[in-house]
């Protein structure tokens, strides 16, 4: 990565404004954090700054309050969890801008950590307001972006602050860029990618960009229905992006020209409805009834995918194989997750719901790298510039 990182700047006793991604899942009933993996992912940068006597000011969003104060989305529970993990008290500000926050920042000493309140309590955050970005920038001497998961957004705290303060990458963002960039530049072959999830349109850029790098593509999940329809299969009531059927056909032709093998489901689980009481039925992809919808890959497909993955040296996976939030339709996804975790190849998970599955199954320690950015990783692998990365200082820059 040709961008400066927190290692390249002097931070001792400076006010270091760090954009982190603490958008963690919270149990609405209890207010408890159910998965702290995003908090833990930011620890290397936070600890680096604490050890070098920086005054650390963390900023993040949580949920989608749409510019309003929502008590259930306050960041106090996050600060409490971070305090427990760090073994030191993390302060919580009453807001993320304004005189009271400035007083809290001014009271910080070297090695202290302060978490500001939810950025998205202000609508100016998502609109990319320059005034809001300047108000945030006044709190720091330097800016560190360690929130890869939101770096594809041109929000005030991502792209805006970087225009008013010297801006560098955090250690997590650096690792994300280097790891995902390695898939595009130097994957160890055979390189096999597994794609699922609902939409083809979200992954077109990435599919086009990695086509010349992969040896094989395995396609499941909702997006498989679009590919099956492009092969003239009846897919019933399954979710199909009609505008993407032609795109899928074009991708399959390009894969054939490039010598890339595409493996689609040969059997699927279908159901009449999508709810917790629904019952699934295994059918061949050639025998999907017009009133049914695909909810998971079938057992033959699981085995076919398993065989397809066996010889891989590098595996990238993004997107579930079915509607995994309904237990009876999660078998395909869990089978693929278990096999990838035990494979022994270099394994990279593309963030989002796929990462949540890996963590929920307790498989994270068996995966080489789990990205913290679903949408960000798709855009980066699709060759798009990320606003939160492009504005960081280049390696040859001088920060005074």
**CA nearest 22: which of 95, 102, 76?**
76
Q: What are phi and psi of 192, to 5 degrees?
A: -120, 130
**Cα distance between residue 302 and residue 221, in whole Å:** 12
Active site residue 290: no
How many of the other CB atoms lie within 10 Å of CB of 62?
A: 23
Q: How far, rounded to the nearest angstrom, does the alpha carbon of residue 19 sit from its chain's CA centroid?
A: 15
Residue 152 in tokens: 């594809």
Active site residue 375: yes
β-strand partners of 319: none
**Cα distance between residue 217 and residue 225, in whole Å:** 15
**Cα distance between residue 393 and residue 370, in whole Å:** 26
Of 199, 250, 261, 306, the catalytic one is: 199
**Beta strands at 369-370 and 346-349: parallel, antiparallel or unpaired:** parallel
Of 63, 128, 205, 375, the catalytic one is: 375
Gap between the terminal Cα atoms of the chain = 22
**Cα distance between residue 229 and residue 221, in whole Å:** 14
3-state SS, residue 15: strand
Buried b (16+ CB within 10 A) or exposed e, 349-359: bbbbbbbbbbb
Element at 342 (helix H, strand E): helix 331-343
Angle between helices 352-360 and 374-381 (to 10 degrees): 130
User: What contacts 296, CB < 8 A, 6 or more positions away?
Assistant: 268, 269, 280, 321, 322, 323, 329, 330, 331, 332, 333
Of 221, 352, 373, 388, the catalytic one is: 352
Of 19, 38, 52, 81, the catalytic one is: 38
* Residues classed as catalytic: 38, 199, 352, 375
């Amino acid at each position: 990565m040709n961008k400066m990182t927190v290692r390249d700047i002097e931070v001792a006793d400076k006010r270091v404004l760090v954009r982190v991604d603490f958008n963690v899942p919270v149990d609405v009933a209890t207010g408890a954090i159910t998965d702290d993996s995003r908090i833990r992912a930011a620890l290397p940068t936070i600890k680096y700054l604490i050890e070098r006597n920086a005054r650390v000011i963390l900023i993040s969003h949580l949920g989608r309050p749409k510019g309003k104060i929502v008590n259930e989305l306050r960041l106090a529970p996050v600060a409490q969890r971070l305090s427990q993990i760090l073994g030191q008290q993390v302060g919580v500000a009453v807001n993320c801008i304004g005189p009271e926050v400035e007083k809290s920042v001014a009271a910080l000493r070297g090695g202290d950590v302060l978490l500001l309140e939810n950025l998205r309590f202000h609508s100016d955050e998502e609109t990319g307001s320059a005034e809001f970005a300047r108000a945030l920038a006044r709190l720091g001497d330097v800016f560190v972006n360690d929130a890869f998961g939101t770096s594809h957004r041109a929000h005030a705290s991502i792209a805006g602050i970087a225009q008013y303060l010297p801006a560098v990458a955090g250690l997590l963002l650096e690792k994300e860029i280097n790891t995902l960039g390695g898939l595009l530049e130097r994957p160890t072959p055979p390189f096999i990618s597994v794609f699922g999830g609902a939409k083809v349109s979200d992954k077109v850029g990435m599919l086009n960009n990695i086509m010349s790098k992969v040896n094989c593509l395995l396609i499941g999940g909702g997006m498989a229905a679009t590919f099956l329809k492009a092969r003239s299969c009846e897919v019933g009531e399954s979710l199909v992006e009609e505008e993407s059927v032609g795109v899928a056909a074009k991708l399959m032709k390009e894969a054939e020209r490039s010598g890339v093998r595409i493996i689609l489901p040969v059997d699927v689980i279908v159901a009449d409805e999508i709810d917790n009481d629904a019952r699934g039925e295994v059918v061949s992809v050639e025998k999907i009834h017009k009133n049914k919808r695909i909810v998971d890959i079938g057992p033959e497909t699981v085995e076919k995918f398993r065989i397809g993955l066996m010889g891989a040296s590098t595996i990238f996976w993004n997107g579930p194989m079915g509607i995994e939030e309904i237990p009876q339709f999660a078998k395909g996804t869990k089978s693929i997750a278990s096999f990838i975790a035990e494979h022994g190849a270099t394994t990279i998970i593309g963030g989002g719901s796929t990462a949540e599955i890996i963590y929920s199954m307790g498989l994270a320690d068996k995966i080489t790298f789990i990205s913290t950015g679903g949408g960000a990783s798709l855009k980066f692998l699709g060759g798009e510039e990320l606003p939160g990365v492009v504005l960081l200082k280049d390696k040859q820059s001088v920060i005074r």
